[in-house]
Amino acid sequence: MDLQETLLPGVGVRYELTTGSGQVLGIVVQRDGGAEIAVYDARDPDRARGMFRLEPEEVDAVAEVLGAPRLTQRFADLSREVPGLRSARMTVRSGSRFAGRPLGDTRARTLTGCSIVAIVRDADVVTSPTPEELLRAGDVLVVIGSGSGLEELDRRLSEQA
């Protein structure tokens, strides 16, 4: 896989991914958190055509969609192969400031680098929860991340409302 990162002064960062099948995907992540996703002209490979503009919330949603399922899939292998990566279960206690708020409000990925791959709620399991998923007191979150990231998230979740 070939992923190149280029600085766009005053704008943000541009990523260019050449896929195995030879297609090229361009992603511009802007300073304000928004992004543009582009494919390139077959005749002029330097020119972006067909652009998606994503607002910051949309970027978060896309990141969750692409990030979480892949992590769940690879979780079993990864935690065996990668020494730094750990998983944990964390309970949303009643009185936590995140009980009754959407999952996205925890900003777990941004602040602690942890991924919440599933929510266990009574007998149900919500796999790959979206940022809109409302957390309830008693929910158990299945989380993957570094040791310190997990501790930080645990502290954050137990903050009182």
Partner 1 sequence: MDHVAALLVELGLLFLGLAVLGLLARRLGLSPIPFVLLAALALGDGGLVPLATAEPFITAAAEIGVVLLLLTLGLEFSATELFASLRRHGPSGFVDLVLNAPPGFVAGLLLGLPWQGALALAGVTYISSSGIIARLIGDLGRLANRETPSVLSVLVLEDLAMALFLPLLVVTLTGGGPVAAVAGIALSVGAVLLVLVAAQRHGHHLGRLLTHRDDEQVLLRLVGLTLLVAGLAQAVGASAAVGAFLVGLALPATFADRARAILRPLRDLFAATFFVAFGLSTDPSEILPTLPAALLLAAVTTATKVGTGWYAARRDGVALFGRLRAGTVLVARGEFSIVIAGLAVAAGIPELGPVATGYVLLLAVIGPLITRFIEPVAARCRPAPTPG
- Residues in the site for partner 1, rule: CB under 8 A? 6-11, 14, 16, 26-28, 31-32, 36-38, 42-49, 51
Using the minimum distance from each CB to partner 1, give the nearer residue, 51 or 78.
Answer: 51
d(CA 103, CA 132): 6
- Cα dihedral angle (6, 84, 157, 91), rounded to 10 degrees? 130
Two tokens at 108?
């777990």
Two tokens at 37?
């996703």
CB of 145 to partner 1, least distance (A): 24
Using the minimum distance from each CB to partner 1, give the nearer residue, 31 or 107.
Answer: 31
Using the minimum distance from each CB to partner 1, give the nearer residue, 16 or 133.
Answer: 16
d(CA 18, CA 23): 6
Q: How many residues does the chain have?
A: 161
CB of 152 to partner 1, least distance (A): 20
CB of 4 to partner 1, least distance (A): 10
Going 74 to 78 to 80 to 86, the CA torsion angle's sign is negative
CB of 7 to partner 1, least distance (A): 5
Using the minimum distance from each CB to partner 1, give the nearer residue, 15 or 75.
Answer: 15
